[in-house]
Amino acid sequence: MASVLGFFFLFVGTALSVQPYHDPHCGGKQVIVHLFEWKWTEIAKECERYLGPKGFCGVQVSPPMEHAMITTDGDRPWWERYQPISYKLVSRSGNEAELKDMVQRCKAVGVRVYVDAVVNHMAGLGRKGVGTAGSTFDSDAKDFPGVPYTKENFNDRSDCPSGDGNVNNYGDPKNVRDCYLVGLTDLKASQPYVQDKISGYFNSLIDIGVAGFRVDAAKHMWPKDLEAILTKTKDLPEGGRPFFFHEVIDRNDGAIKVDEYFHLGYVTEFRFPQKVKEGASGDLGRLGSVYDPGWGMAPPDQAFVFVDNHDTQRGNEALTYKNGAEYKRAVAFTLAYNYGFTRVMSSYYFTDNSAGPPRNADLTTKDVPIKADGTCDNGWVCEHRWKPIGNMAMFRTAVAGTSVDNFRYENGVLSFNRGNKGFFAMSVNSFSITVNTGLPAGEYCDLISECAKKIRVDGSGNAQVSPQDPSEPFVAIITQGGDNIVVPIVTSSPVVTAPTSGPGPTPEPGPTTAPTTQKPYVPSGSEDFKRTVIMVEKQTNPGQDLFIRGGIDHTQRPGCSDSSAVASNPCNIPIKHTVVSTTAHYDKVNAWSVGDNFLDWGGSEPGQGSYLGKPADGTPAFWSTNDRANAGYSALNTYGSHYWIVDFQMDCSRTENEFFEVKALVNGAWEGDIRGAPACTGLGSAVSPPYESKNHLARCGYKNVFHFGSSACEISPL
């Protein structure tokens, strides 16, 4: 079985690269989360504080267009969002300015936004009034002046082969696509005018940074009409076609088949939730056959998969958050396996299937506060933050393109490895097994426990595997992107808390105060150069350059002063630049790197190179993007545009327990002080810095990703 899976799924990586609407534009990351009914302001915060650091590809957001406002039993139901009034960007989740701010903030931390697009229909018959943006409408008259649409833009009763004009015969494609779905006014998408309005809506969202779309009720639209609409949709500003995934419910129970839409993007695979429920709820071994091509399931390079969505969790047909442990098993397995492109659900608690999101007294949507334990409050479930779910996003990305090998279900424990890049195990109860992981020898952080547990793999690939928390019976380890790159066990050093006195008198950036004890500098007996990467996300304008300065602040080490020679200053750290590229994009950084032998707090070192007569202002960085078509593309950048990179060898023996300080300058202007404790994620953040600082604290030998002026960071093995 393993060999068959390996051969079949290794094809997937090549298939994705040639299909125009299948690229999610998130740097190879593999997991989307649906933040169902969240406000734009709250999504922006979640991108910055959780989704970006955890390595999520993107977020599917609720429909942002103007919709009907419906009040029933003192509540506004969730489904009012699926009753469009116009394509104006004002909805229950917020206005256009808030939407744009959210999209840009999420994109800045490597999280793309995908819009749930309701374009098959407008609001249902029997409704009239004013929408969320103030547009009037009358559904019975087919009058939607906010677009505008009139009666001529909708399928007529004569177009529909049903007795009541509604969809009621799924064996007839014309009935499914030309009749009114549950009374919703069905647009005539074959009209060029309607196509222009829908593509114009898509284009307006692309202009503000949206990367793609979930097409709601795509099954009820003719593929040729969808193709015409997509053809009129523009490329993304960074290049490439927008990402599309289409809602096509095909359970071998009607005339509409998923393969009719394959050329238009991914297609939702509604048979997968049924298959994964069968395994996660009973015999875990059945999960080995969740992909059943004999049942008509879409191939892996076309299937958009999920355990539940906002519809199925209200139909009691799939596992949901209400199923607790079974649900965790289903989602964790989905993210560990290699079938399809994945989305996880993030819900709110409900008992009434029509209930809208948690609301205030005025029926507005509540904020999503985060409790001290990382879970959500105010009635939000936030399944994506559950450890066996949120921590698997990194796993899914790290093992992308690998096969499922050594699939086992023995003594109640399911386990398999993903090539030589990852290993996963789970059970209904806590477990301890000795198993071949398929990974190189080393010691690895368990992702589920967020590195509280370490797994030692011997030279034969064997390991004693058990979960850190018996109540969370999962283990997941990865090699972090290389055949022989492992995560070593490290011992955290205690954080030295600085007293709360005022700022020190140092002219250069440094800690707000000195630590309680100062460690005298002792020169290293031997050098310990390791490749180290600093990335600073900062949007700049043409002609601007970014440099970094740093080392150890002089309040931390005696003997440092502005008058010290660069080489003898104990706060400076030796570095060795390497030529990243000789293309024109790197001319400046290559010129400025000559003679730059230390990371220090000063400007240009004696003998340091210049570019066209302009001296260096520290250690130079180069501008990068994750767009392969751009001259600034770097494989280190899996986040987006405007990430400045310094890639050098650093003498780790001159750091403080592997840590050092760094701060950026843009055209001579210093980055502001970094307020608050570092909010770092990544496997390299398992070790705490030995002291506090108002600068970024980076780790030698790792990739350190910072955001200009922010305490958020990611520290990952190279």
**Given pLDDT bands bounded at 50, 70 and 90, which one contains residue 222?**
very high
Query: What does each C-alpha distance from 326 to 331, 391, 601 come to in angstroms?
Result: 9, 17, 54
* Helices (H), ranges, 185-222: 192-207
CA atoms within 13 A on the CB side of 599: 32
pLDDT score of 501:
25
Encoding tokens for residue 157? 């009763």
Residue by residue, what is the 3-state secondary structure of 639-699?
CCCCEEEEEEEEEHHHCECCEEEEEEEECCEECCCCCCCCEEECHHHHCCCCECCCCEEEE
Residue 499 has pLDDT above 70, yes or no: no
Counting residues of the chain whose pLDDT is more than 90, the rounded percentage is 71
Place of tokens 């949709």: 233
- Name beta bridge partners: 664: 548
The enclosing H or E element of 619 equals strand 619-620
**pLDDT tens, position by position, 642-694:** 999 999 999 999 999 999 999 999 988 889 888 776 778 888 887 889 988 99
| Chain center to CA of 257 | 30
Please report, for residues 326, 346, 347, 348, 381, the alpha-carbon distance to residue 321 in angstroms, rounded to integers and kept in the order given. Answer: 9, 9, 8, 9, 8
The predicted pLDDT at position 40 comes to: 98
Question: What is the spatial distance between Cα 415 and Cα 342, in angstroms, rounded to a whole number?
Answer: 20
Residue of 247, 260, 308, 383 with catalytic role: 247
Res 448: pLDDT = 95
User: What's the whole-number mean pLDDT along residues 209-237?
Assistant: 98
pTM (predicted TM-score)? 0.70
602-653 pLDDT, tens digit per residue, is 888 888 888 887 889 999 999 999 888 888 889 899 888 899 999 999 999 9
Query: What is the pLDDT at residue 566?
Result: 81
Give mean pLDDT, residues 512-539. Answer: 63
482 pLDDT above the threshold of 60: no
pLDDT tens-digit series, residues 115-171: 999 999 999 999 999 999 999 999 999 999 999 999 999 999 999 999 899 999 999
Instruction: Note the helical H segments in 536-679.
Output: 587-593
More confident residue, 96 or 577: 96
Half-sphere exposure of 373 (CA within 13 A, CB side): 6
Among 23, 48, 66, 216, the one annotated catalytic: 216
- For residues 201-205, average pLDDT: 98
Residue 77 above 70 pLDDT? yes
Site of tokens 């393993």: 2
CA distances (Å), 509 to each of 92, 554, 645, in order?
44, 10, 20
Q: State pLDDT tens for residues 372-412.
A: 889 999 999 999 999 999 999 999 999 999 999 999 999 99
What per-residue confidence (pLDDT) applies to 564? 54
β-sheet bridge partners, residue 418: 404, 422
Q: Which long-range contacts (CB under 8 A, 24 or more apart) does 155-159 make?
A: 155/179, 155/180, 155/186, 155/187, 155/188, 159/188
Residue 674 to residues 406, 694, 710, Cα–Cα distance (Å): 47, 5, 6
**Structure confidence at residue 487 (pLDDT):** 39
Q: Is 534 exposed, middle or buried (0-12, 13-18, 19+ CB in 10 A)?
A: buried
Give the pLDDT confidence of 5-61 residue by residue, as tens digits. Answer: 333 343 333 333 448 899 999 989 999 999 999 999 999 999 999 999 899 999 999
Is the pLDDT confidence value at 468 over 70?
A: yes
| 359 has a pLDDT exceeding 90 | yes
What are 5's two structure tokens?
């899976």
Q: What is the pLDDT of residue 684?
A: 83
C-alpha to C-alpha distance for 138 and 181, rounded to whole angstroms: 18
Give CA separation, 117 vs 149, 349, 710, in Å.
17, 24, 33
3-state secondary structure of 175: helix
The predicted pLDDT at position 638 comes to: 87
Q: Tell me, yes or no, if 247 is annotated catalytic.
A: yes
pLDDT of amino acid 561: 66
Residue 512 above 50 pLDDT? no
Higher pLDDT, 256 or 610: 256
Of 699, 604, 620, nearest to 664 by C-alpha is 620
How far is Cα 333 from Cα 335, in angstroms, rounded to an integer? 5
pLDDT tens by residue, 281-324: 988 999 999 999 999 999 999 999 999 999 999 987 899 999 99
